[in-house]
Amino acid sequence: MTRRGLRGALRASDGPLTDELTRTPGGFGLGQVPASRAPDAVTTMVCGFCSTGCALDVHLRDGEAVNLTPSAEYPVNRGSACPKGWEALAPLSAPDRATSPMVRQRGGSLQPVDWPEALALFTERFQAIQAAHGADSVAFLSTGQIPTEEMALLGAVAKFGMGMVHGDGNTRQCMATSVVAHKESFGFDAPPYTYADLEESDVIVLVGSNLCIAHPILWERIARNSHHPEIIVVDPRVTETAAAATQHYGARPKTDLTLLYGLAHLLIERGAIDRPFIAEHTSGYEAFADHVAAFGPDRVAAETGLTLDQLERFAATIAAGERVSFWWTMGVNQSHQGVRTAQAIIDLALLTGSIGRPGTGANSITGQCNAMGSRLFSNTTNLFGGRDFTNPAHRAEVAGVLGIGVERIPDRPSLAYDQIIEGIHRGTIHGLWIVATNSAHSWINQTEIRDLLGRLDFLVVQDLYTTTETAELADLVLPAAGWGEKDGTFINSERRIGRIRRVRRAPGHALTDFAIVKLIADAWGCGEPFRQWDSPEEVFRILARLSAGRPCDFSGIESYAQLDDGGLQWPYPAGSPTDGPAARGGPERRLFADGEFFTPDGRARFVVEEPVAERERPSPRYPLSLLTGRGSSAQWHTGTRTSKSAVLRALAPDVAYVEIAPADAGPLGIQASDEVLVESARGSVHARALVTATVPAGHVFVPMHDAATNRLTFPAFDPLSRQPSYKTGAVAVRLLHSWEH
């Protein structure tokens, strides 16, 4: 035997440990997959985290999901997903899943009970509260994280069956501002774009949007833009997106409204506006032009902190663009003047005729996976199908489609989220039913809401886990099945309706939200009007009928099967082709190509208002401005699910941290990695200092995912949308002594 041969014999190049990592052709066009998880079937469903709405190919063995990969052919994501999507199955196996209903005992602990007992308790307690304080003293908080069919059933049973009046769609926290802006400017809550616009633009303006982190797959679409677009980011921080952009404007927080008016001023001054479009398809231009006349560059430069040269370059870039698209996210929506800021973005698009054509648009990027479904069908702020509770004709339409008495439909609008919480304080709300949202973590000014939730006569939380900050305050926890354990549809940012499916068994006695609401309706004694709401697909057909004649009409979709091939964007009215490529009207469709808007006169409206200052400004006691936002692409909101994945945990900092500029850290004696205390007038947070120049001097940034962050935030709200202004507040930072750690 040669020396090499001998050594070879002494080296185990295969064996059981080697086999564990064997890869094998997976079939189904997947390429190689881990042999231990090779599928016997594959199905496609939409991801359940954000509103991008990527499709995932779920790998099945005996019908059960064992792995997943991003769908290569879906028009949204084309083979890519962010880490949350890749890890979407992991949170389903967490050990703290709720597996049976749990009731709070006198001692404070939660004890399991069976479903009949839980349903009886739910009914008895809420009915007693309603008997004592009126039907409207029990309210519900819905969510953007469950399928449209489930949230529609919830909204229908709560309002038309149980007599509730007040419910909030929870998208209050992310999209309410856009909804209000769209309704007033376009005549309907209708994001006009399709994702292909990101690939068609030659100028892309991102306002208050850290797309790389918040919507990585939309950034992918920009990366595929072959027109070498100018990418402009307006953000106080040097975010990942700002770093990747071609132009970054670090305007001071909450001065974006002034900046946008200033840009309009410069564009009008240059004559870089689309006069024919303005004349034919808009209203309110004269008042708009008068208004922005007062926003000359000197004033705007002084208020935003940008230079005159920067303003000139920004305006010149828009003026030079053939296909300019404007995009915004939470930096705009979560503001004390968010609606007007969003409308100022729409104004710019109208001014330059940048709407209805490929690569254009004033485009609000949505947050939660089914915020768009919630906006149309949660039956909270709006009546089904974007209708108005106060409109008798609308109530009659809905009663007719549903076959229920019109008197069951409340004739007054719901209180908004913050007003429901305030109602607890004022003694008008005594019972609350929270479904798939984590208010005790995510709501602004957290100390107050935790106190108020504790004061309720009865709090029901319906969620996957017994360990959410909100479930820990509940009197009754109802165990829900999660994404992957239920059927239904989501609507994504570009109005695309996509399928989710049941590919895992829910643990223990957890049930779908659909089943839970059905059981509650029966226990309550109001199940009869909802007999036809028998399955998610039946509900989908009901919703399609409710959408008929509305701008969101998708009555042309008669079954889930039609959604299997890439989903369908609304509108898709009856009579649309049902088969072949034409069925989709092409894979990507945008609104307003004909210049016709949903307003009564068919014209889009210019809307303006004088900017106002934030209510809480830095002071000698709290000298720094607080910024909050998404910290990493691996974390989703309150971390209810993403914190359950070991991989996602590894991808994000595992400590609470605060980004602080070197210029602020130095005088405070703060070195990198020091433990510091961030204090506002409302609370304080322990954090580790990340000293970085990516946050401007005078500001600090705290990621929103940490449960303590909302102790700091200041409860300001947009007066029109009632959306909280999360990204503001005044704080102080100081070094913690070693004994305080």
Partner 1 sequence: MSDLLTPLDRFLREQQDLTPVERFAQRHAADQLSDSQLGDTLPRYRDLLPGAGPGPGEQYAFDVDLDACSGCKACVSACHSLNGLDEAETWRSVGLLHGLDPVAPQLQTVTTACHHCVDPACLNGCPVDAYEKDPITGIVAHLDDQCIGCQYCTLMCPYEVPVYDAGRGIVRKCDLCRDRLNVGEAPACVQGCPTDAISVTVVSTLELVAQARASTASRPTTLVPTAPDSSITVPSTRYRSARPLASSMVAGDQYSLQPAHGHTPLAVMLVLTQLAVGTAALALVLGDRITVARSWSVAVTLLVGVVALGASVGHLGRPWYAWRAVLGVGHSWLSREIVAFGVFAGLTALDAAATAAGTRLPAWLAPVLADAVVAAGVVGVVCSVLIYAATRRRWWRAPRTGALFGASALVTGGATLLAVSVASAAGAGGLVGARGAVRPLVGLVVVASLLKLVLELSVLRHRHLPSEDRALEPAAMELHRTARLLSGDLAPQLSRRVIAGVFGGVILPLVLLAAASSATPTVPAIVMLALASPALIVVAELTERRLFFLAMSGPRMPGVLR
Nearest in space to 65 (alpha carbons), one of 35, 81, 96, 88: 88
Of 186, 193, 195, 219, which lies in the binding site for partner 1, with binding defined by CB under 8 A? 219
DSSP character for 159? I
48: tokens are 């359940």
Compute CA 236 distance to the chain's CA centroid, rounded to the nearest angstrom: 21
Taking the complex as a whole, how short is the minimal distance between the CB of residue 521 and partner 1, in angstroms? 10
Residue identified by tokens 């449960």 is 707
d(CA 636, CA 719): 27
What CA–CA distances, in Å, run from 398 to 381, 428, 544, 587?
A: 15, 28, 12, 31
CB-nearer residue toward partner 1: 589 or 644: 644
- x/- mask, partner 1, residues 606-645, rule CB under 8 A, reads --------------------------xxx-----------
d(CA 110, CA 469): 14
Taking the complex as a whole, how short is the minimal distance between the CB of residue 255 and partner 1, in angstroms? 19
DSSP character for 444? S
Of 405, 669, 672, 740, which lies in the binding site for partner 1, with binding defined by CB under 8 A? 672
Q: Is 230 in the site for partner 1 (CB under 8 A)?
A: no
Of 110, 156, 434, 691, which lies in the binding site for partner 1, with binding defined by CB under 8 A? 691
Q: Pairing between strand 699-703 and 657-660?
A: antiparallel
Residue span binding partner 1 (CB under 8 A) among the ranges 219-227, 259-267, 361-369, 439-447: 219-227
Is 262:311 a contact under the CB 8 Å cutoff?
yes
Taking the complex as a whole, how short is the minimal distance between the CB of residue 35 and partner 1, in angstroms? 8
Length of the chain: 741
Of 51, 76, 80, 685, which lies in the binding site for partner 1, with binding defined by CB under 8 A? 80
Give, as ranges, the residues between 427 and 486 that touch partner 1 (CB under 8 A): 481, 485
Taking the complex as a whole, how short is the minimal distance between the CB of residue 72 and partner 1, in angstroms? 6
Taking the complex as a whole, how short is the minimal distance between the CB of residue 67 and partner 1, in angstroms? 6
579: tokens are 């088969």
CB-nearer residue toward partner 1: 77 or 728: 77
Q: Is 706 in the site for partner 1 (CB under 8 A)?
A: no
d(CA 617, CA 629): 19
475: tokens are 């009197």
Residue span binding partner 1 (CB under 8 A) among the ranges 306-314, 576-584, 587-595, 691-699: 691-699
Residue span binding partner 1 (CB under 8 A) among the ranges 155-163, 369-377, 502-510, 538-546: 502-510
- x/- mask, partner 1, residues 325-364, rule CB under 8 A, reads ----------------------------------------
Taking the complex as a whole, how short is the minimal distance between the CB of residue 196 and partner 1, in angstroms? 16
Of 268, 272, 515, 736, which lies in the binding site for partner 1, with binding defined by CB under 8 A? 515
For helices 308-320 and 297-304, angle between their N-to-C axes, nearest 10 degrees = 110
Give the chain's count of helices (H) and strands (E).
26, 28
d(CA 740, CA 292): 52
Q: Is 653 in the site for partner 1 (CB under 8 A)?
A: yes
Q: Is 522 in the site for partner 1 (CB under 8 A)?
A: yes
Q: Is 234 in the site for partner 1 (CB under 8 A)?
A: no
Of 241, 445, 562, 725, which lies in the binding site for partner 1, with binding defined by CB under 8 A? 241
Is 528:402 a contact under the CB 8 Å cutoff?
no
Of 131, 132, 223, 287, which lies in the binding site for partner 1, with binding defined by CB under 8 A? 223
Q: Is 675 in the site for partner 1 (CB under 8 A)?
A: no
What CA–CA distances, in Å, run from 131 to 125, 134, 162, 460, 701?
A: 10, 6, 12, 18, 47
End-to-end CA separation in angstroms for the chain: 64
CB-nearer residue toward partner 1: 387 or 637: 637
Of 103, 135, 238, 319, which lies in the binding site for partner 1, with binding defined by CB under 8 A? 238
Give, as ranges, the residues between 10 and 39 that touch partner 1 (CB under 8 A): 10-18, 20-21, 23, 25-37
d(CA 332, CA 329): 6
Number of residues that bind partner 1 (CB under 8 A): 113
Give, as ranges, the residues between 46 and 75 that touch partner 1 (CB under 8 A): 57, 60, 62-64, 67-69, 72-73
Taking the complex as a whole, how short is the minimal distance between the CB of residue 502 and partner 1, in angstroms? 5
Q: Pairing between strand 568-569 and 496-502?
A: antiparallel
Nearest in space to 569 (alpha carbons), one of 217, 201, 196: 196
DSSP H helical ranges for 321-473 = 330-333, 338-351, 371-377, 392-402, 417-426, 439-442, 446-455
CB-nearer residue toward partner 1: 67 or 439: 67
Q: Is 564 in the site for partner 1 (CB under 8 A)?
A: yes
Nearest in space to 248 (alpha carbons), one of 306, 182, 162, 171: 306
Taking the complex as a whole, how short is the minimal distance between the CB of residue 57 and partner 1, in angstroms? 6
Of 581, 646, 669, 740, which lies in the binding site for partner 1, with binding defined by CB under 8 A? 646
CB-nearer residue toward partner 1: 405 or 662: 662
Of 279, 396, 561, 582, which lies in the binding site for partner 1, with binding defined by CB under 8 A? 561
Q: Which residues contact 331 (CB under 8 A, 6 or more apart)?
A: 207, 208, 209, 234, 235, 256, 629, 727
31: tokens are 């390429």
CB atoms within 10 A of CB 697: 12
Give, as ranges, the residues between 96 and 115 that touch partner 1 (CB under 8 A): 115
CB-nearer residue toward partner 1: 472 or 522: 522
Of 412, 505, 615, 617, which lies in the binding site for partner 1, with binding defined by CB under 8 A? 505
Is 322:294 a contact under the CB 8 Å cutoff?
no
